[in-house]
Amino acid sequence: MRVAIIQAPNGLLPGSEEWRVLAQQIRDEKPEVLITNEMPFGPWLAESNTYEAALAAKSIALHEEGLVALRALQIPVVLSSRPVPAGDRLANEAFALAGGEYIFGHHKHYFPAEPGFFETEWFQAGKPGFHSVEAGALRAGFLLCTELFFNEWAREYRRQDANLIAVPRASGESVEKWLPAAKMAAIVSGCHVASSNRVGRVSDDLTFGGRGFCIAPDGSLIGETSPQQPVFVFDLDPAVSKRQQQEYPCYVKELSI
């Protein structure tokens, strides 16, 4: 199946010219699966170190509009995330659209707390657990941005028979840490690992770096997005993951302690 990763403009609005251009670039590639960046629509809330209920509500509403825009692409499977209410803050909810049907994935559990990424002020997990979603031959798990560095959950997705780990992210210009983390997630899970990112300058202290990437189940780099190629498509064969999950180190038994 053809899987698309993207680098999407920061502050993207459904119905805007930027969205129309990106949507056409995606359609031109005829993907069967699309992975977006983390909470792809509107401003990046966690730039501020102070939670603001009005901005949170606006982002929720904007991503509701985004669901309409994503469904209008008419791609069989879309993997993304969006803000939803969770007590006195938000949850970052991973989800799939499969044939337009909304399928819950999980709530982000791991949050940075530093300039540009004050996520602990804005987000909390409203529901526990890491759950894969199934759509035909595809079984996908999510690791939302920072969660990629906690690869015990990549191993958990292997136990759930996943063949793809989607990594919607909002990260800076360097991939020095991200690529090794993605390769390790692929190696320990036997899954394809694919990530999309925002791109664009927010302030003197924050620039989103783009560079979506996809990793094969053996840990090798398949390809990346770039300014010249904001949509990158690769072929995912579930049988490749199935074979890799019988190989070292995937077959090594887990501890029972």
Could you tell me the two tokens for 64?
């509701």
**Whether the Cβ atoms of residue 199 and residue 36 lie closer than 8 Å to each other:** no
pLDDT of residue 254: 86
pLDDT of residue 167: 99
Residue by residue, pLDDT tens for the chain (257 residues) are 999 999 999 999 999 999 999 999 999 999 999 999 999 999 999 999 999 999 999 999 999 999 999 999 999 999 999 999 999 999 999 999 999 999 999 999 999 999 999 999 999 999 999 999 999 899 999 999 999 999 999 999 999 999 999 999 999 999 999 999 999 999 999 999 999 999 999 988 899 999 999 999 999 999 999 999 999 999 999 999 999 999 999 999 988 77
Could you tell me the two tokens for 225?
């997005």
Domain span including residue 60: 2-244
**Is 70 within the bounds of a domain?**
yes
**Is 251 within the bounds of a domain?**
no
**Is 255 within the bounds of a domain?**
no
pLDDT of residue 205: 86
**Is 252 within the bounds of a domain?**
no
The span from the CA of 101 to the CA of 207, in Å, is: 34
3-state helix, strand, coil in the chain (%, to 5): 30, 35, 40
pLDDT of residue 113: 98
Report the DSSP beta bridge partners of residue 234. 3
Q: Residue 27: give its domain's CATH number.
A: 3.60.110.10
**Is 104 within the bounds of a domain?**
yes
**Is 254 within the bounds of a domain?**
no
**Is 162 within the bounds of a domain?**
yes
pTM: 0.97
pLDDT of residue 38: 99
Total structural domains in the chain?
1
Q: Hey, how many other C-beta atoms are within 10 angstroms of the C-beta on 137?
A: 12
CA dihedral 115→93→141→101, nearest 10 degrees, is -150
**Is 250 within the bounds of a domain?**
no
The span from the CA of 101 to the CA of 140, in Å, is: 15
